[in-house]
């Protein structure tokens, strides 16, 4: 089993919710299924460009097992012990092995936690990791009615190129420029502005969760 040794990081969302951002791991499969079950039908449609009633166990296991190079995923969790829940996921997968610098990407944020800066935090963390592994761009496909995720991408601070076809935007996100948004710090860090060591999400963070690309997210059956 491949193990990712990246340390977890802590952050406080704008509404005060404390979350932990860490790499996904194989035993997260049941938590992914639970997250999917909590998503609204509208969120499922916008994120996956289609309808899906459930996330099957086999598919959840596939999503929870990544090689941390050609595929990567970060999760945001909330709660302690047996009460830990995954409330958001950001992931990428290389588009083609002969294009090692281009990856499809997806972000999913549970409905009740949208608009709190969580999507922005995950995008920044995913982009940082992708750059470190030679990926220079993310490809995103977004339904034209999904204005929340379109605004989120626009406000990410990353240069983009876009094209629309049959009501679906295809967006190329350039990773050579770092997004202008706040990153979570390690929950053990101490600073004068954060006495308990948890980074506060800046008011300017859009944080709208949403689907960036079907093939990198839950949408594959």
> 128-176 pLDDT, tens per residue?
999 999 999 988 776 666 667 667 777 766 666 767 766 676 778 888 8
Instruction: Please name the residues in contact with 39: beta carbons below 8 A apart, sequence gap of 6 or more.
Output: 47, 108, 110, 111
Angle, alpha carbons 105-111-112 (nearest 5°): 135
Query: Any idea where the domains of the chain sit in the sequence?
Result: 9-216
Nearest to 76 by CA among 26, 142, 132, 9: 9
pLDDT value, residue 40: 83
* Residue-by-residue pLDDT tens, the chain, 221 positions: 565 778 899 999 999 999 999 999 999 999 999 999 998 877 666 555 556 677 899 999 999 999 998 999 999 999 998 899 999 999 999 987 677 899 999 888 999 998 899 988 998 999 999 999 999 998 877 666 666 766 777 776 666 676 776 667 677 888 886 655 444 333 333 232 333 344 444 433 333 334 443 333 443 33
Helices (H), 81-190: 118-132, 147-154
pLDDT value, residue 141: 73
Instruction: Please name the residues in contact with 187: beta carbons below 8 A apart, sequence gap of 6 or more.
Output: 8, 9, 10, 20, 197, 198
pLDDT value, residue 216: 39
What does each C-alpha distance from 163 to 104, 139, 168, 169, 213 come to in angstroms? Answer: 16, 11, 8, 6, 14
Backbone angles phi, psi at 97, to 5 degrees: -65, -20
Cβ atoms of 205 and 182 within 8 Å: the answer is yes
pLDDT value, residue 99: 77
Nearest to 179 by CA among 150, 157, 195, 163: 157
By DSSP bridging, strand 18-23 and strand 9-12 are antiparallel
Instruction: Tell which CATH classification among 3.40.50.620, 3.40.630.30, 2.60.40.10, 3.20.20.70 matches the domain 9-216.
Output: 3.40.630.30
Instruction: Please name the residues in contact with 98: beta carbons below 8 A apart, sequence gap of 6 or more.
Output: none
Nearest to 207 by CA among 137, 143, 147, 155: 155
């Amino acid at each position: 089993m491949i193990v990712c040794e990246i340390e977890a990081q802590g952050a406080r969302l704008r509404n005060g919710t404390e979350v932990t951002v860490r790499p996904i791991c194989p035993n997260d499969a049941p938590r992914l299924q639970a997250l999917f079950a909590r998503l609204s039908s509208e969120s499922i449609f916008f994120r996956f460009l289609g309808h899906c009633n459930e996330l099957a166990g086999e598919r959840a296991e596939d999503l929870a097992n990544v090689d941390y190079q050609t595929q990567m995923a970060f999760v945001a969790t909330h709660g302690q012990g047996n009460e830990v829940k995954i409330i958001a996921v950001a992931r990428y997968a290389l588009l083609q092995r002969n294009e090692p610098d281009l990856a499809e990407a997806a972000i999913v944020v549970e409905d009740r936690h949208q608009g709190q800066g969580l999507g922005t935090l995950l995008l920044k963390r995913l982009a940082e990791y992708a750059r470190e592994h030679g990926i220079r761009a993310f490809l995103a496909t977004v339904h034209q009615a999904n204005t929340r995720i379109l605004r989120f991408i626009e406000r990410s601070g990353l240069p983009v190129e876009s094209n629309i076809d049959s009501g679906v935007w295809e967006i190329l996100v350039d990773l050579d420029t770092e997004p202008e948004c706040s990153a979570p710090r390690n929950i053990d860090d101490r600073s004068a502005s954060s006495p308990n060591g948890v980074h506060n999400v800046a008011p300017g963070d859009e944080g709208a969760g949403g689907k960036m690309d079907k093939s990198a997210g839950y949408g594959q059956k």
